[in-house]
Every structure is written in C-alpha cells, then in structure tokens.
A and B are shown apart, each in its own frame.
Chain A
Amino acid sequence: MPVRSNIVTNAAAKQKYVQAVLALKQQFTGVTTASLGIPGPSKPASTWDRFVAWHSAVMGIAHSRPIFPPWHRLMLRTIEQLMQQVLGDNTFGLPYWDWAADGQLSAADQLTAPIWNNDCMGDGVSAPGPFTLAAFPVRLASNANGTLVQVNRALRRNRGAGVQGISRPNLPKKASTADALNVVPFDDAPWDRNSTRFRNRVEGWNPPNDLHNLVHIWVGGDMLPASSPNDPVFFLNHCNVDRIWEAWMVKNGRNYLPTATTPGAPVGQRLTDPLASPFGPSVTPAQVLDMTGVYSYESLSV
C-alpha cells in the first residue's frame, strides 16, 4: 500500500515524483484540445495537461465549497495511480510538501528551503529545475478572463513576492495548521467562502489568504490562476492539505457536511452527490472519507 511521505526527507519519493511528472507531461493517449473544448487548432493534450483542464473546468464547483477536500482527494488519488502506472511501481505514494514547516523559517530561508533545490521543484522564476521548456512546456493556461487557452511557454513562479495588497507574504505557520484541527464541524451554511468551519479554514478563506490559498499566493506565477495544476508544486500543496484533512478526521471523526438530508444544502455538494472524473467512474464524498485501506501518510503531525 502506498505511503505518502515528505518530499524533502524521502529522496526516493522526490526522484520518482519528478520522473513521473515529466512522464505524464509527455504522455499522449489520443485526447486533443478540441475534445476538451479548448479553443484554437486541435492539438494533442498530454495526461498532465488534462489535469489542468479538469481543474479549470470544476473551479466554480470544487472550490470555496464543501467538496473542496473530497474533490481534490479524487484528483490526487487519480494522478497517484497514473504515476504508479508510468513508474511501474504500485507502491509509489504521492509526496507532500509540509509548507508549514518551511513557514517556521525566516522569509529569506523560506526561499532557499530544500524543496526548491534543483533536483526537486527548482529555484528559477522560469523553467525551474527539472521543468525546462523542452521537458515541461506549459500548453494550457487560464487567461485574465478565466478562459483556458493554448500557450507554449515555460513554467513561471514568483516565490515570496505575493500579489498587490498581499506583498511579501510568509508561508503558513504550524500554529495555523494545528489550530485548523480544532475547528468543527467540517462545514456549515452558507457553504461557501463565508463559512467559518474547517473546510473554509483549511482552504484559506477564514481567516483570508491563509493555509492552502496562501501557498498558491506565495508560490505565485502559474500557481495563481485556475490552471494552477500546471505547476508540479500544486500536487505537493494539495497532498499536504489532504494530510491535514486526514489528521482532522482522525481527531474529529470521519464526518462530512452537508449530508444528503441537510436542509438548504447545495446540490452537488452533499455527502452522496457524485464527483465526476474524466479518468474513471464518479465517486461520492462518502466513498472517499476513509482511504486508510488505500494509502496512508508517514506522519499526521501537521
């Protein structure tokens, strides 16, 4: 059974993750931009690029909503299996980035933390580390209007710069992740970015620009738009979010809200509503609450 480990302390997981990222970027199975509904001339879409399109398509329903954790669990487990297939290793576990550990460092040291070594995610602002333009071209990206369009350029980051009004942010700290485990229940009305419960806490809207959201902002560049799965850091961030959710369920029980009978619950966000995947049959949040027989984390200390 796969064990998901810290990418900066497990050299084998780091090497395999980078290898699998590059392999999925170059894996073409006959899917095209036309079949995905992306404007412009029809071109082959790699398996990696399809995750960019999938994430962009569900931006409005899988973010700032209750299914944020279970939908991303579906996405992570899907790419984990596809990585196992290209690696020929069914024990491969998706690694995570314990960004709150780096958040304990000084602002300068956050920028030079081991995850940014050039045998890992790389330290460049363009085509960092292993993700050169030739090996890892960005082919699909959201434009300013949120439309997914075809491009051909290198991956971009702007680590630590932030955005207007949130300049020079630091990564989240351990106190924030630990505090999130104490927030109950899982979610509550109005079931959006105004909720004060765990889902909205870990997503990073309450307080604003914290935890998961802050990591996107801190990395910057291609991590800012809806096409953020372009950056391999995306999956390391979300694997850590999934780890925090797992730690929350170990502490507070494997429960989810809204249930199928919660009054006023939004359709598509309930415990037994289907989450669709372009890579396999739909699953429900109820089906993914307990994955202890499928994968585990080497540590749930967040």
Chain B
Amino acid sequence: MTPTSPGPITADASAAQARKNAPYFKKLLAGMHMTGGMGSVREADYKGHHITVTTMYRVKIDGKPFNAILGVSNSGLVHYHGMPNAGFASAIDLLKSVIDTFPDEFSARSQTGSGAMGGMTMTKKGVRSKAAAKKTMRRK
C-alpha cells in the first residue's frame, strides 16, 4: 500500500502512518465524550445594542439525566452533536428522535402517550412525577 496518485493529498492505511498523529485524534475523540457545561450562547447586534442569549437544557429520559449538549441556532432551531445534521423545531422533537435513532439504548415501551411525550421525563413539564422517575432509577 503505497501512495500512488498526484496532488497534495496522499493516502497510506498503514499502522505506522496512523501512529504519527494518533494522540491528536485520540484527544479529539475524547472531546466527543464531554457532556454538560457551558450551554449555548447566541449573540446579535441590533441598533447599537449587543444581545446575548445563553440557553441550557436539563434533560432526563426515564428519570436518567441525558447529558449531551443541546445547542440553539439564531433561528431558534435546536441541535446536538449526536445527530449533527438535523435542526429541530423543539427540544422535545430532538429527544424523541434520540429515542428513535438509538434503539439499542432505548428499548421499546408502551405506546400510551407516545403522541405527546413518548415515555420521556422532562424536568420542566414532566409527564411523570419526580418520585416515579427516582423509582425507575432505583430499579435500574
């Protein structure tokens, strides 16, 4: 396997080549594991005034904290790095999609109420009480 083509980009699949900058990519990949923290900051200037909007979400699914970082664009769309190509009109839609997209982590439950919250527990307007959520956590 030797680089064969012209141009500025060369390709070598060997382990020796991979070792050259492995620490850099391991560090980047570790950064993908980071959760929680700063929140999303939106800024705009309008008629000489500077606007800053910081948004933080606290999310639980089935009573368990969901710590991935959700961000908001200036248009109000919600996004997160777990599904990096989609912008959602609401965090609820985003989290329903999380459950749909990662079926190995969210086993199927009763469809009752799925039209509204799909079995999701939110801290602000939860469909289940905090006590129920804690009970679920203890069972696990």
Q: Is the CB of B81 within 8 A of A205?
A: no
**In-complex Cβ contact of B74 among A82, A194, A204, A212 (8 A):** A194
Measured in the bound complex, the distance between the Cα atoms of B32 and A226 in whole Å is 10
Q: Is the CB of B73 within 8 A of A194?
A: yes
Residue of A nearest to B10 (CB): A280
From 182 to 210 in chain A, residues with beta carbon under 8 angstroms from any chain B beta carbon are 190, 193-194, 204-205, 208-209
Closest CB of chain A to B84's CB: distance in Å?
6
Q: Is the CB of B32 within 8 A of A57?
A: yes
A6 is an interface residue with CB less than 8 A from chain B: no
Q: Is the CB of B33 within 8 A of A77?
A: no
Measured in the bound complex, the distance between the Cα atoms of B98 and A146 in whole Å is 11
Closest CB of chain A to B7's CB: distance in Å?
4
Measured in the bound complex, the distance between the Cα atoms of B5 and A90 in whole Å is 7
Known: A37-B30, A81-B3, A276-B24. A145 touches B9 (CB 8 A): no
Q: Is the CB of A57 within 8 A of B88?
A: no
A80 / chain B contacts, CB cutoff of 8 Å:
11
Q: Which of B15, B32, B84 has the most CB of A within 10 A?
A: B84
Known: A37-B26, A145-B67. A163 touches B83 (CB 8 A): yes
Q: Is the CB of A278 within 8 A of B83?
A: no
How many residues of chain B get a CB closer than 8 Å to chain A's CBs?
63
Q: Is the CB of B68 within 8 A of A144?
A: yes
Main secondary structure of the interface of A (DSSP, over half): mixed
B97 is an interface residue with CB less than 8 A from chain A: yes
Known: A74-B9, A194-B74. A59 touches B81 (CB 8 A): yes
A212 / chain B contacts, CB cutoff of 8 Å:
85
A27 is an interface residue with CB less than 8 A from chain B: yes
Segment from B46-54, B100-108, B121-129 that makes contact with A: B100-108
Q: Is the CB of A148 within 8 A of B4?
A: no
A-B contact pairs, 12 of them (CB 8 A): A29-B1, A29-B15, A36-B25, A58-B28, A60-B31, A81-B3, A142-B82, A146-B81, A164-B96, A165-B89, A225-B102, A226-B84
Binding site for B on A (CB under 8 A): 2, 27, 29-31, 35-38, 47, 50, 53-54, 56-61, 63-64, 74, 77-82, 84-85, 90, 142-148, 151, 153, 163-166, 190, 193-194, 204-205, 208-209, 212-213, 216-217, 223-226, 228, 276-281, 283, 287-288, 291, 293-294
3 A-B pairs with least C-beta separation = A37-B26, A30-B15, A294-B7
